[in-house]
């Protein structure tokens, strides 16, 4: 369905279900959304910006999937180097092992591995901005940046853009951005 949101920007709202039966469907909003938008767009999206919302990981995982591979539509998601990031969530061999392993060359398992790795990064860092940056840049780099005083000038611009785009696409820009 398409709606005009209060700022006059056009957006589309989709319901997205995940294969994991314990995870609830989420609403994904596509289109331009200003940072000031904080409203309920349809039943099931109340508390969209609530940090305690159980659908937060699903929104982040879906946003990462979109940023990394356009939800599997970008064929460059399959790289020639076997140990490098692969698939719709661009999961590396090391990241897959960190969450118990699996076939990261299978799109469904790749998404589950990526989701599990995001959850692991969130548990490690305690906030989505740092967790997403670590997913993109690696936890070792993120740990060094944090222990070095969180100097924003030392954070690669690509990591900042990636993190902000995922947070924006997941509608969590209020959660914090780098």
pLDDT tier at 173, thresholds 50, 70, 90: low
pLDDT tens digits, residue range 15-74? 555 555 554 554 444 444 433 332 222 223 233 333 334 489 999 999 999 999 999 999
Helix, strand or coil, per DSSP, at residue 30: strand
Tell me the CA distances in angstroms from 96 to 76, 81, 141, 159, one per residue in order: 19, 15, 18, 21
Percent of the chain whose pLDDT exceeds 90: 63
pTM over cut 0.85? no
CB 98 within 8 A of CB 104: no
Looking at residue 171, its pLDDT comes to 86
pLDDT at 176 over 60: no
- Structure tokens that stand for 165 in this block: 């785009």
Domains of the chain in sequence order: 53-169 (1.10.530.10)
């Amino acid at each position: 369905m398409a709606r005009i949101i209060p700022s006059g920007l056009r957006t589309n709202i989709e319901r997205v279900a995940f294969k994991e039966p314990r995870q609830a469907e989420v609403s994904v909003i596509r289109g331009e959304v200003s940072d000031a938008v904080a409203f309920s767009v349809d039943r099931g999206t109340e508390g969209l910006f609530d940090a305690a919302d159980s659908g937060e990981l699903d929104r982040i995982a879906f946003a990462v999937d979109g940023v990394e591979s356009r939800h599997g539509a970008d064929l460059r998601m399959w790289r020639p180097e076997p140990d490098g990031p692969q698939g719709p969530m661009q999961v590396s061999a090391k990241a897959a092992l960190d969450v118990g392993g699996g076939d990261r060359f299978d799109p469904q398992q790749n998404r589950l591995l990526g989701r599990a790795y995001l959850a692991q990064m969130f548990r490690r860092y305690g906030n989505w901005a740092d967790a997403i940056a670590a997913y993109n840049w690696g936890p070792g780099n993120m740990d060094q940046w944090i222990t070095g005083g969180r100097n924003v000038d030392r954070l690669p611009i690509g990591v900042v853009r990636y993190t902000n785009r995922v947070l924006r696409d997941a509608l969590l820009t209020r959660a914090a951005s780098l």
